[in-house]
A and B are shown apart, each in its own frame.
Chain A
Amino acid sequence: GQQLNQSPQSMFIQEGEDVSMNCTSSSIFNTWLWYKQDPGEGPVLLIALYKAGELTSNGRLTAQFGITRKDSFLNISASIPSDVGIYFCAGQNYGGSQGNLIFGKGTKLSVKP
């Protein structure tokens, strides 16, 4: 089946640093999504990308949908302690069930104050 390769698996950074994580796939997706999961909570949607090449920002977050439709990155600028959590990328294709998201394994972010 389709798989997403998400990297890095974990990051330990100092408060104020910028963060970058990415996802790649061997197959094409029509939509890329980035979620954040806080401890004990479910994933929360951060950014959704619908067009190849699209670059979207949400506050300190910026994400891009790769031009080949096989990759995406998420950048976080000037990290703060509340950025701690697990970040997941997810892809979706319209061909299958509209509900079927394919997730990466997650990037665990730790921020040192």
Chain B
Amino acid sequence: EAGVTQFPSHSVIEKGQTVTLRCDPISGHDNLYWYRRVMGKEIKFLLHFVKESKQDESGMPNNRFLAERTGGTYSTLKVQPAELEDSGVYFCASSSRQGPLYGYTFGSGTRLTVV
């Protein structure tokens, strides 16, 4: 079974530019989560999709972040315009049922650097 795939693995962009991160969950997993770790800090929840619907987006930092999951398969997270404080590692995770009790698998992350 293929794991959670994230693309790109690394991205370096200038302040003010736009970046789109992609996550392909494990096939058949309805639940998809985005998390972010800013260097030296904790991993923070951003949002949770159930199929194509946003179940919880309470962790999204501001309206420069837009997450979509059209068709309930892969998801994208767009940052527009990027700011320096957006730098960090963005993780995606998926599960077949809600919550980490039922097999919650993380991807390898996208390391975003805004310069």
Contacts and interface: CB of A to CB of B under 8 A. Distances in A.
Given A99-B55, A104-B42, A42 B100 contact: no
Chain A, interface size category, equals 20 to 34
Interface string B45-78: 1001000000110110000000000000000000
B4 A100 contact: no
Contacts of A3: 42
Contact of A44 (B31, B43, B56, B106): B106
Interface string B75-114: 0000000000000000101010011110011111100000
A44 B105 CA distance: 7
A4 B107 CA distance: 23
A43 B43 contact: yes
A42 B109 contact: yes
Contacts, number: 70
Interface stretch (A53-61, A62-70, A75-83, A90-98): A90-98
A49 B59 CA distance: 24
A105 B104 CA distance: 20
A64 B6 CA distance: 33
A14 to B, nearest CB: 26
B58 A103 contact: no
B100 A31 contact: yes
16 contacts: A40-B9, A42-B91, A42-B93, A42-B106, A45-B100, A48-B101, A92-B99, A92-B100, A97-B56, A98-B98, A99-B31, A100-B45, A101-B100, A103-B43, A105-B40, A105-B41
7 closest A-B pairs by beta carbon, nearest first, are A42-B106, A98-B98, A98-B99, A97-B56, A99-B48, A103-B43, A103-B42
